[in-house]
Amino acid sequence: MDLAQDDNMLVTGHNSGTLMIWSVKKFEKIHEMRDLHHDVITSVCLSRDNHYIMTTSKYEIIFRMLTALFRDSVIKIIDFRTFGVVKEISDEQYNCTSTTNRACFSPDSRYILVGGNNKVLVFERETGEVR
């Protein structure tokens, strides 16, 4: 979960892959994005300017009928004003296998820092490239 800089909005990520946006002043849900991820949302972060929400999810291998299905481990950037996904970042170096990882924006929101698997990766927000 993360609280907006102005303390008016709260964003929460859930085990179902759903993201919820709450009004702190009214104590009510403002918006819900169901099935944003295929698995548990492991981290939620708002940019300092409150323009973007970043979510991360767990990487999981599921075996069904002798076929391995790989799920998620994707970083998603959502426009906080329109609630549209503006960027999905996936990289072979980023495999989130834990529900306790943390991701954050740099102070100017140009970069994304994400932890997992005993390392920290830095991505450019606009291109999704690893730095």
Enumerate the domain spans of the chain. 2-124
For the chain, how are helix, strand and coil distributed in percent, rounded to 5? 0, 50, 50
**CATH code of domain 2-124:** 2.130.10.10
> Does residue 6 contact residue 50 with C-beta atoms inside 8 Å?
yes
> Does residue 51 contact residue 79 with C-beta atoms inside 8 Å?
yes
Residues 6+ apart with CB under 8 A from 57: 17, 37, 38, 39, 40, 41, 42, 72, 73, 74, 76, 96
State residue 48's pLDDT score: 92
12: burial class by Cβ within 10 Å (0-12, 13-18, 19+)? Answer: middle
Q: Which residues, in sequence order, are bridge partners of residue 70?
A: 61
The whole-model pTM stands at 0.84
Give me the average pLDDT of each 10-residue run along the chain (131 residues).
86 94 93 89 92 84 54 83 92 74 91 83 93 89
Give the number of other Cβ atoms within 10 Å of residue 87's Cβ. 18
> Does residue 54 contact residue 65 with C-beta atoms inside 8 Å?
no
